[in-house]
């Protein structure tokens, strides 16, 4: 019932009466089925092809649109499940808590809201695990936590993940997805760029491989630091990876940007990254690269 009423909304112009009827039908649905979520909690409209699908169906399909293959965002935990061998992941630094040290208005509330939404306490989850039997130190960012922004705790957790790789002499992997620095933490947030980059440098000096996997979207200070410093940089098709927004760049340089600018395909063509691989094949690709490096 609900499916068809939503379909109707997509293709037909509703009169006020239709809307009232539709709301009444939705209410009845809720009573009959016991499902209390709002439609937006259950359904997702593909931004690429417009198809409306059940969220749980996308989840079953690695968050790939069943109609056009568009990749939806994945949470940090889902990415870990995708990449790391079952039962081998041991989380580290889960106790690190964000402090509102600048007393930025509304920041604490935003963090609490993000915690409720994602079930994690910061925009990155890190630890040790195995990829097809190869032990790695991994950190995975979560865009749904305040836009994956890099505050002091995010920078610290990523730095510690890189340092663990150095200490244990195992490869480091960082999956990035971020809007950049976290403005609520001012200059301390910007400092994380230098801190994480210095940690990458120490790994390089020790000859320990670092694989960076920036996924859609990765922008700002994260692109300007560890995300583009990998020995090997791997991403998914059609991911947005860039520093500043396209409009800002166009206004600054007063020129039109080329088609496909800041997509993974454009970056690969211009030598900014090494491999584009389908999500379904990401683990195989990473394992293949790792087996050549260790």
Interface with Zn ion, residue 257, by CB under 5 A: no
| Of positions 54, 68, 206, 294, contacts Zn ion by CB under 5 A | 68
Q: Between residues 72 and 143, which has the closer beta carbon with respect to Zn ion?
A: 72
| Nearest in space to 143 (alpha carbons), one of 125, 157, 130 | 125
Angle at CA of residue 7, ends 4 and 11, nearest 5°: 140
| Of positions 6, 46, 102, 275, contacts Zn ion by CB under 5 A | 46
- Using CB under 5 A as the binding rule, the residues of this chain from 123 to 162 that contact Zn ion are none
| Of positions 44, 63, 64, 65, contacts Zn ion by CB under 5 A | 65
Q: Between residues 80 and 215, which has the closer beta carbon with respect to Zn ion?
A: 215
The conformation of residue 283, written as its DSSP 8-state character, comes to: H
Q: How far is the CB of 156 from Zn ion (least distance, A)?
A: 37
Stretch binding Zn ion (CB under 5 A), from 46-54, 71-79, 86-94, 189-197: 46-54
Angle at CA of residue 17, ends 16 and 19, nearest 5°: 65
Q: How far is the CB of 233 from Zn ion (least distance, A)?
A: 26
Interface with Zn ion, residue 67, by CB under 5 A: yes
Stretch binding Zn ion (CB under 5 A), from 66-74, 126-134, 199-207, 254-262: 66-74
Q: How far is the CB of 65 from Zn ion (least distance, A)?
A: 3
b/e for 146-163, b at 16 or more Cβ within 10 A? Answer: bbbbbbbbbbbbbbbbbe
Q: Is 103 left (phi over 0), alpha (psi -120 to 50) or beta?
A: left
Euclidean distance between CA atoms 201 and 70, whole angstroms: 35
b/e for 226-238, b at 16 or more Cβ within 10 A? Answer: bbbbbbbbbbbbe
**Binding positions for Zn ion, rule: CB under 5 A:** 46, 48-49, 51, 65, 67-68, 70
């Amino acid at each position: 019932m609900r499916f068809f009423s939503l379909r109707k909304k997509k293709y037909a112009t509703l009169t006020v009466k239709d809307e009232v009827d539709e709301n009444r039908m939705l209410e009845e649905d809720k009573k009959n089925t016991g499902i209390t979520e709002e439609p937006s909690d259950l359904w997702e409209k593909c931004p690429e092809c417009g198809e409306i699908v059940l969220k749980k169906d996308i989840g079953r399909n690695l968050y790939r649109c069943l109609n056009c293959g568009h990749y939806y965002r994945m949470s940090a935990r889902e990415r870990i499940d995708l990449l790391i061998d079952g039962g081998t992941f041991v989380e580290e630094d889960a106790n690190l808590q964000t402090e509102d040290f600048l007393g930025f208005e509304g920041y604490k509330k935003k963090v609490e809201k993000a915690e409720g939404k994602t079930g994690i306490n910061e925009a990155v989850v890190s630890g040790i695990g195995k990829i097809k039997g190869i032990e790695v130190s991994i950190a995975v960012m979560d865009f749904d936590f305040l836009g994956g922004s890099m505050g002091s705790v995010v920078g610290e957790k990523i730095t510690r993940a890189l340092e663990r790789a150095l200490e244990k002499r195992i490869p480091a992997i960082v999956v990035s997805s971020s809007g950049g620095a976290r403005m609520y933490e001012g200059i301390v947030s910007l400092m994380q760029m230098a801190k994480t980059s210095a940690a990458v440098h120490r790994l390089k000096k020790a000859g320990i491989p670092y694989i960076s996997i920036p996924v859609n979207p990765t922008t700002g200070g994260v692109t300007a630091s560890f995300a583009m410093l990998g020995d090997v940089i791997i991403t998914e098709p059609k991911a947005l990876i860039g520093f500043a927004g396209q409009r800002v760049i166009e206004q600054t340089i007063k020129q039109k940007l080329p088609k496909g600018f800041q997509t993974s395909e454009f970056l690969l063509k211009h030598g900014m990254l090494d491999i584009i691989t389908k999500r379904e094949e990401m683990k195989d690709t990473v394992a293949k690269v790792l087996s050549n490096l260790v």
